[in-house]
Amino acid sequence: MNEFRRAALFLASAASVVLAAPALAAQPLTLTPAPVKAQALDGSFRLSDATRIHVAKGDVEARSVAQQLSDLLHRARGVRPAVVEGEPAAGEAAISLVRGGPDGEGYGLDVAPGGVKITAQKRAGLFYGAISLWQLAVQDEAKGPVDVPAAQVEDAPRFAWRGFMLDSARHYQSIDTIKLLIDGMAAHKLNTLHWHLVDDQAWRLEIKKYPKLTQVSAWRTPAGAAARDLKTGKPVRYGGFYSQDQVRDLVAYAAARNVTIVPEIEMPGHALAPIVAYPKLGLTPNPPALARHDWGIFPYLYNVDDETFGFLNDVLDEVMDLFPSEYIHVGGDEAVKDQWKESAAIQAKIKALGVKDEHGLQSWFIQRVEKHINGRGRRLIGWDEILEGGLAPNATVMSWRGIEGAIAAAGQGHDTVLSPEPTLYFDRRQSTSLDEPPGRMTVSSLKDVYNFDAAPDALTADQRKHILGVQANLWVEHIRTDERVQLMAFPRLVALSETAWTQEERRDWNGFAARVPSQMARLKVLGIKANTAPFEPQASLRPGQDGAIAASLKSGLELGQIRYTTDGSEPTTASPAYGEALSLKAGTVLKARSFLDGQPLGRTRAWTATEWAAHTRVSRQLELCGNAIPLLFEDDAPENGRDGERAIFATDVMKPCWVWKGADLSKGLKLTAWVGQTPWNFQIGKAKDQIVVRKPATPDGELEVRVGGCEGERIAAIPLGKAGRGPGLGTVGGVLPARDGVHDLCFSFTAKGLDPMPALDRVTLTSAGQ
């Protein structure tokens, strides 16, 4: 690979090079993740069905990469270059895959009008060179032949571990969806899929020696009203599992895209599912089979007798036969020790082993498992709790509770992967948009992920050598559909790819943001449903002057410019740019869309300016009274308990009440509220006792309204009646008495108990005379 002597280096994350003659000028490079070195050159390479991809005779690996490139080009643009063995003919403008140059995952890419050359020693490098060429050919959603901008690229990754964890235990995803996620990872040079297959809620992997793991524990009954089919009244059986044949196919599919699947088998905690199937594995004779629909931390731990380790060794052997990954993940997190503390047999074991306490017993447990894993030539990795009580000698630590675990592990000479919450926990919403899917309310935006520091200052230079890489985690307690899994993963995984691949000094948010339209286009042509809500305008409608409606517009990431119309037409780059709040006549249809460098970002959004809309706020627009466990979660049950759209509530589980700031009570107000309910399915231990539930005065409870805060004077108690019985939403109404001035109003519910838990969907406050 030459050293790019013809011009100064051009980084893909920087602005494009523009020369005097537009037809011949160097074109923008939109490679993501940004390469180590890249130079945009004059001219372009014409890619069409007539193009051929050449590989050396007998090079099976190169031929497979060439075929993948051809397939990807067909998938995105509809062109399918032929793959041939041997050198290109004299004067042929072709694509060549050549061995040599960079080692490992590194590659060189030369694009010129007369041909394209991808150079790498290893298959992984050839694959990533092909991915970069594909990206240059796919910068929008257009079909047909394309002029690929001329460029020279020299590239290699910053970190070896560039990961994404998918939780398939809480909700099952189809094999097709997982393959689609792998496609999106590979298209952005992510190389590790950490597959969370086992938890309290389900066991998803077929184990031949222990069939009950999937016969019994791959299935559960949903919580609440969703537990029964509304048409038949019969219990709903929810779940699924992955057969060993499916896993082999998936492992091969991932490997072909340079993605290694690392399986996780949780221990010693998060073990309720296997204990339900085989109770002798636990410490209680009657584990609660039906409680596996709960979210949170269960207290059930594995026993520590030889029979249990025999089971675990058998399981791990079948796992290692299926997954050729260097690492096997054993969890190790959130192992509540109460059962161990209360068991005479466990306390005798602690004394016999000479370990200090239950933490020491967990360390002994993990080290015993590690010996078996090491005996198969593999390495153990676990969450940072495996540091407690002493770390297994060869273990690698995945730090999720901030970066402290990584710092501690690296300080002790252990390898580590940074995967901290909340930033890299993709069950967090991506913006404050009202269109975000359910999940945790803390925002982890595209920019937050991009700006994550993967080399903390707290580590010395030598300790930083122990950082294998970074990983984002997608926990799916509140993400029940395959489509939502995609929405929560993308486009944030694109940001993670640059954090994981690109050298720190080459990373630049503004450069990355400029490439967002191309990035979103590539995800779309791959068939991935990426979340566009953070880019899209959101409107806030409030009462204006003289009967007008005041409309404010804002997008979550504030990228580009918002343009709008008020005549019903679609916004374009020629439409007015939004600057300050608009004053609209009642009945006006406001449409708005975000644009970046002349390209649309996300969908056009529309609102009708009405008095009703101006006086209505959904729960996500109200202020929560607490911030202990703030969640966006769904109403109890739609049709048949599983399908269809559900209302999404913003609620703090520990303090379920909502505040409307600044309500004018001077003339009294008419209140209309949409209310629903959710099942109480949270394993939060003794913290549940701290939740205040006021006793109802009527059979179905009341919606209470207080002034001046949640402990203020109650000015209304509106019986819920039928609206409080669910499932689905119901409406209640009442009148709030006049009171001088503007006041904060707090809404809460009375109930007979926490299950089901009443929830507020939205509130409308209008003049009492309306």
The C-alpha angle with vertex 384 and arms to 381 and 385, in degrees rounded to 5, equals 110
Q: Which of 92, 141, 266, 334 is flagged as catalytic? A: 334
In one letter, which amino acid is 496? L
Q: Dump the DSSP string for 140-198.
A: SS--S-EEEEEEEEEE--S-SEEEEEEE-SSS---HHHHHHHHHHHHTTT--EEEEE-E
Q: How far apart are CA 382 and CA 366, in angstroms?
A: 9
φ/ψ region of 715 (left if φ > 0, alpha if ψ in -120 to 50, else beta) reads alpha
What three-state secondary structure class fits 720?
coil
User: For residue 480, what are the contacts with CB-CB under 8 A and spacing of at least 6?
Assistant: 171, 634
Q: How far apart are CA 491 and CA 526, in angstroms?
A: 13
Q: How far apart are CA 146 and CA 156, in angstroms?
A: 26
Q: How far apart are CA 268 and CA 266, in angstroms?
A: 7
Q: How far apart are CA 367 and CA 362, in angstroms?
A: 9
**CB crowding 491-519: b at 16 or more within 10 Å, else e:** bbbbbbbbbbbbeeebbbeebbbbbbbbb
Q: Dump the DSSP string for 651-707.
A: EETTS--EEEEEEE-TT-EEEEEEEEEE---EE-GGGGGG---BPPSSTT-EEEEEE
**CB crowding 690-718: b at 16 or more within 10 Å, else e:** ebebeebeeebbbbbbbbeebeeeebbbb
**CB crowding 303-323: b at 16 or more within 10 Å, else e:** bbeeebbebbbebbebbbebb
User: For residue 280, what are the contacts with CB-CB under 8 A and spacing of at least 6?
Assistant: 303, 307, 308
Q: Do the Cβ atoms of 628 and 718 come closer than 8 Å?
A: no
Q: How far apart are CA 254 and CA 264, in angstroms?
A: 16
Q: Is 611 a catalytic residue?
A: no
CA R_g for the chain: 29
Exposed (0-12), middle (13-18) or buried (19+): which is 567, by Cβ within 10 Å?
Answer: exposed
Catalytic residue IDs: 334
